[in-house]
Structure 1
Amino acid sequence: MNSRNACRAGNTSARFLRKSSRHRIADGSRRQGRMILSCWNGRQQNMEEIMKAIMQDERVQKALAYLQEDQEQMMKDLLELVQIPAFSNHERQKAEAMRDKFAALGLQDVHMDEVDNVFGTLPGAGDGPKIMMAAHTDTVFPLDTPLAPQQKDGVWYAPGINDDTHGLADLLTMIRAIRASGLVFAGDIVFCANVGEEGLGDLRGVKHIFRQPNDIAAFVSLDTPTLGGIVHRATGSSRYRVTFRGPGGHSFADFGRPSAIHAMGRAIARIADFQVPDAPKTTFNVGVVKGGTSVNTIAAESSFLLDIRSDSPEELARLEGEAKAAIKAAVAAENRRGTQQGAVAAEIQQVGSRPAGTQADDCQIVRIAQTACRALGIEPELRDETSTDANIPISLGIPALSVGRGGREGGVHTTGEWFDPTEAWLGPQKDLLMLLLMAGLQDIAPAQLPKR
C-alpha cells in the first residue's frame, strides 16, 4: 500500500476538506432555525434524458449487474459487521473494521479521524462536485447485547442488522462495483462510516465533519427503512438528563422526608399530560428512569432521560419550557409533602441537541433521488421529517438526504430486528445512480449539483 492509501489515525479529518469559512456547530447547539434550500439555478439538462444516457453506458450496466451478483458478498460483510458491538460512543472496533475494508478495496486517503469517523475517497476526474455518502457505525444496543445473527425462512435476525449496519455493507458493495466496472465520476466521492448517529451520540460524527472547512457539495446517508424512502427534512430534538437528589433515609424511621423518586414520579406524571399539536408534529418521551437502592429506603437520588422533538423550532422551545416548569413544580410539591428535615432538588442537564431544517419538495437533490428510483422501477416516497445525520448539513444549507436501504426490514431498535434480503441489491443500485447524477459521469453526463 502506498502512502496515499495508508490508514492513519489522528487529526486528519480536514485532509479531504478545503479552506473555507468555518461552520460552527456546538455540541449543545441551540441553532434550530429552518433553512429552505432553493433548487440549483445553474444550467441543467433534462434529468430524465441524462439518466437515459447514464443507463446506456456499458460501464454502468456492468456495475448494476455486479451489484446484483455481489449480494452474497454484501451479506457476508453484513453478517460479519453486525456481530461487532458498537453502542453509541463505543464504535471504535467497528470503525477499525470499516477502515480496513476501505483500504483493502483500494480507496485513496483512507483514514480515521479524532472521533473515529472513517473516510475513503474515490477520486473523480476533477471537474465535478465532491459528494459524501455515509452510513453510521453505532447502534442503540449496549455492549453486552448478544449479537449473533440467526436465520429463519430466509430472514436474518440480529440487533442492528438494518440500522445502520446494512448501510455500511451497501457502501462496500458499491465500492466494489465501481472499481470492477471502471466508472469514473466527474467529482470525488468520499465514502464515510461515521459515529454517533443514535441516541446520546447526538450526531457527533457528522457534527465533527462539518465543523471543518469543507467543499462537500452534498451529503447522503443510507439510513431509511424503505427502498424508495427519501428524507429531505430534519426534525429538531432536545434531550435532557434530569437528576433529583434528596436527603434519603429509612422508609419507616425517616418517613416524611422528601423522596427523589417521588419527585421524579411527580415530574413524569406532569410531562405525560402535555398537549402537543398534530402539525407541526411534536413529540415527547421519558425513555429511561433510574434510582433507589432498596424497597425500604427513601431514595436519595433518581434520574430520567427526556426526549423532545418537533418539526417546528418554536414548538420545540415551548415544550422545553413546559418541561422545565413541570420539573420545578414537581420538586416544590414533593418538598411541601415532606414533614421532616431535608429537601429534594433537581439538576437539568442537556445531553443532546439536533438542529432542524428543511428543503423544498422539488429541490435538485430530491429530484435526483426520485429520478434514480424511477430508473429502476422504484416508487419514490417523500417520508415524514425525522432526525438523521442529514440534519447537520441541511441546517447549514448543504443539500443532503437520508435514503432507503434495499430488501425488507422491521423491528428496528429492538433485539428482534430482522432483515429479508430479497432483491436487496436494488438499494445500492439506486444509490449508485444517485451518485452518478450528483457527481457526473465523466464524458457522458454532467453533474447535476454544483461545486462548493
Structure 2
Amino acid sequence: MIPIETIAQNGRVQAALAQFPDAVAEIVSQAIAIQQIPAPTFAEAERAAYLAQRFNELGLQDVTLDELHNVYGRFPGSQPQNHPPVIISAHTDTVFPAGTDLTVREEGSVTYGPGIGDNSTGVAGLIGLVKSLQLHGIRPLADIWLVANVGEEGLGDLRGMREVVARFDGEAIYLVVEGGLFGQISHQAIGVRRYEITFRTAGGHSWGNFGQRSAIHELGKFIAAIDKLKVPTSPKTTYNVGVIQGGTSINSIAQSANLLLDLRSEAPERLANLVAEVEKLVAQWQAQPEVQVEMAQIGNRPAGQLPRNAPLVQQAVAALRQVGCDKISFIASSTDANVPLSLGYTAICIGLTESGNAHRLDEYMDSTHLPAGMGQLLLLALSAAGISP
C-alpha cells in the first residue's frame, strides 16, 4: 500500500480534497434519491436497477447485476494486471418494510428519513467517489470495483457480500462503506448466530381447557430463562429476543408460538458457549411433557479480524488524520466486512459522516463531516489501488 502522506502530496488529489465541501449538497441529494426507493431486505431490485442506471451514466465499465441484485461497476486502473483489485462496497437494503413512509426533512446540515444514514449515504458515497476521480483526472493503478450489494440487514445473512467475495476472492482488498461511523475503523467482525425457536402445545379454549399448556406461556418462560443467562462484558457478548409471534385469539390457549433470537460475541469461543447454553435450555423444554420445541438456525454472520497493525488499518488511521480527524476509534461490529475478514482476507469498514437513530423512523444523517469522510475514502482507496503518475 502507498503511504497516505504520499497520496496526499499529489496535486490532483489535493484538488479533489479541496472540492469535497462543494460536493456535499450533490451527495446529500443523491443519498435522498436512493433513500426514496424502497429496499427492504430481499426486495432490493428496484433500488438496484436505479443504481445500475447511475453506474452506466457515470461511464463505469462492466456494469452488471447478478441474480441477487448486487450491482457492480469497474473504474479501470492503468495497470490492473500488476495490482489486486480494490472492492468498495455499500449495502443497499434497509430494515424498513414495504409501505414505510420515506418522507425526509432537512434542518440545516441534518437530514431526517428512514434509511438515510444506513445506508443511502454510504451508497451515495460510491457515486461521489467516482465523480471525484473523473472530475480531477485521477487514475488508479488497480481496478476499483464499486459494488452496491444486498442482504446486509436483518435475515439477509450477508448473502450479497458472500456472493461478492466469492467473485473476487482473497486477492482483492475490501473497503466496506457505511453512511455513519465517521472516525471509527471496524477491523474486527463480531460473530452473530440467529435462531428461530418454535413452541407447540395442544392448546384449547381459554375457559374450557384452562390448565392446558400454552405455547405462548412456555415461550414467555423461555425468554425469562434466556434473560437470566450470564454473559461477560469483556469480550462483549449479548443476546436479544427481537421478534415473538403466535396464538390465534384472546380466548384461545395458543397451540404455537415462536421467537427470533440474536446471539453475539467478540470472541468466537464465547459465542459458541452461549449457543450451547441456549441449546441446553431448549433441551430442558423438550424433555417436558406436552411441549414440543424446535430450534432452527436462520443466520450465521462469521467472526474475523484484521490486526490493528495491519497496513490497511494503519493507512485508514493515517487517512483520518490527514483529513483532520483526531478522535479515532477502533470498533468491533457486524457488517459486510464480516465475510472477507472471516476468510482471512484484507478488509475494513469505514464511515463517511455522523448519523443517529439507525433502524428508527426518525433516523438522521448529519453531513457536517461528509467532506472529511469522502476525503478519507478517496485517500484510502488510492492507497490500496495506487495512483498513476
TM normalised by structure 1 equals 0.82
Q: Secondary structure at the match of 2:52?
A: helix
Any idea what SS the aligned residue of 2:223 has?
Answer: helix
2:331 is matched with 384
Residues 290-335 of structure 1 deviation map (CA, whole Å, 9 limit, x = unaligned): 01121110001111000000111111111111112212323545x4
Relative to structure 1, the CA distance from residue 312 to residue 241 in structure 2 (aligned partners, 3 Å threshold; closer, same or farther) is: same
Select which of 101, 104, 108 maps to 2:54. Answer: 101
From the superposition, tell whether residues 383 and 423 of structure 1 become closer, same or farther in structure 2 (CA, over 3 Å). closer
Q: 1:270 to 1:379 in 2, by over 3 A?
A: same
Displacement after TM superposition at 1:422 (Å)? 2.0
* Change over 3 Å in CA distance of 1:213–1:70 after alignment to 2: closer
AA of the residue aligned to 1:120: G
**Cα distance, 1:79 vs structure 2:** 1.0
Q: 1:338 aligns to what?
A: none
Structure 2, unmatched stretches of 5+, are none
Relative to its length, the structure with more helix (as a share) is 2
Residue equivalent to 1:448: none
Q: For residues 196 and 86 of structure 2, what CA distance do their matches in structure 1 show?
A: 36
Which one of 261, 268, 271 corresponds to residue 306 of structure 1?
Answer: 261
Tell me the SS of whatever aligns to 1:258: coil
Cα distance in 2 between the residues matched to 1:212 and 1:59: 32
Given that 2:189 and 2:335 are in contact with CA atoms closer than 8 Å, whether structure 1 keeps it comes out as yes
1:111 is the counterpart of 2:64 = yes
Q: What is the deviation of 1:94? A: 1.0
Change (3 A) 1:224 1:324: farther
1:216/1:144 CA distance change after superposition, 3 Å: farther
Q: In the TM superposition, what whole-angstrom CA distance separates every residue of 1:3-25 from its partner, at most 9, and x where no partner exists? A: xxxxxxxxxxxxxxxxxxxxxxx
1-structure distance, mates of 2:168, 2:123: 25
Aligned-pair distance for 1:380?
5.5
Whether the 8 Å CA contact 1:224–1:402 is kept in 2: the answer is: no
- Counterpart in 1 of 2:355? 409
Deviation, 1:267, is: 0.9
Equivalent position to 2:42, from 89, 109, 132: 89
Does the aligned pair in 2 maintain the 1:233–1:385 contact within 8 Å? yes
Q: Are 1:69 and 2:22 matched, yes or no?
A: yes
Once residues 374 and 23 of structure 2 are traced to their aligned partners in structure 1, the CA distance between those partners, rounded to angstroms, is 11
User: Do the aligned partners of 2:189 and 2:305 also contact (CA within 8 Å) in 1?
Assistant: yes
Whether 2:366 is the aligned partner of 1:432: answer: no
Name structure 1 gaps, 5 residues minimum.
Answer: 1-43, 336-342, 444-452
Equivalent in the alignment of 2:7: 54
Give, in whole Å, the separation in 2 of the partners of 1:435 and 1:133.
8
Q: Give distance in 2, aligned partners of 1:237 and 1:247.
A: 33
Report SS of the residue matched to 2:270.
Answer: helix
What value does the CA root-mean-square deviation take over the aligned residues?
Answer: 1.6
Query: 1:152 corresponds to which residue?
Result: 107
Q: Tell me if 1:135 matches 2:135.
A: no
SS at match of 2:87: strand
SS in 1 for 2:189: coil
Equivalent residue of 2:239, what SS? strand
Under a length normalisation based on structure 2, what TM-score does the superposition of the two structures give? 0.95
Distance 2:355 2:124 in 1: 15
Residues 263 and 331, structure 1, Cα contact 8 Å, conserved in 2? no
AA partner of residue 67 (structure 2): E
Amino acid at match of 2:215: A
Partner of 1:293: 248
* 8 Å CA contact retained: 2:121, 2:179: no
Change (3 A) 1:175 1:147: same
Deviation at 1:153, TM superposition (A): 4.7
Q: CA contact under 8 A between 2:117 and 2:179: conserved in structure 1? A: no
Distance in 2 (alpha carbons) for counterparts of 1:432 and 1:188: 14
Render the CA deviation track for 1:68-111: whole Å, top value 9, x for unaligned.
22212111111111111111111111111111111110100001
1:352 is aligned to 2:305: no
How far has the Cα of 1:114 moved from its partner?
Answer: 1.3
Instruction: State the match for 1:279 in structure 2.
Output: 234
Q: Is the 8 A contact 2:86 2:384 kept in 1?
A: yes
How far is the alpha carbon of 1:256 from its aligned partner?
2.4
